[in-house]
Amino acid sequence: MTASLTNGSTTVVVADILAAPLSRPLRRDVLDQTNAAAPKINAGTPGKLAGTITYLCDTLADALALDALYQSAATITLTSDAGAPLNGLQHVAVGDLRYNAERGLPGRPSKWTITVEIREL
């Protein structure tokens, strides 16, 4: 499954999304009261997704293009297969962007993974 990312002026295509451990703060607290059987739940508005996305890039040039895209402060839109969980995710990069070269098989070039910390907008 390929995925494309765009900031409105530049588009980068990656070979695949390998992992996306994301979390959403629900902003709920539980208060166990001494004189009540049921706990009291304090609920707020759930937050936006945050975490990391790991992309697979076929070449170093693709990895560098993705790096350049994420260096922009513009909103990035991820487009993948229709109905895929992350299709249409609008986000920005925060924190660190990490490269990793996957060991290539004999006679085949290495592929690259890019892991980027994101926050949903």
Contact 35, 99 (CB under 8 A): no
pTM of the model: 0.85
For the segment 79-92, the average pLDDT, to the nearest whole number, is 89
Q: How far apart are the first and last CA of the chain?
A: 24
Q: Which of 83, 65, 57 is nearest to 7 (CA)?
A: 65
In which residue are the tokens 């629900």 written? 26
pLDDT at res. 34: 85
The answer, yes or no, to whether residue 86 has pLDDT greater than 80, is yes
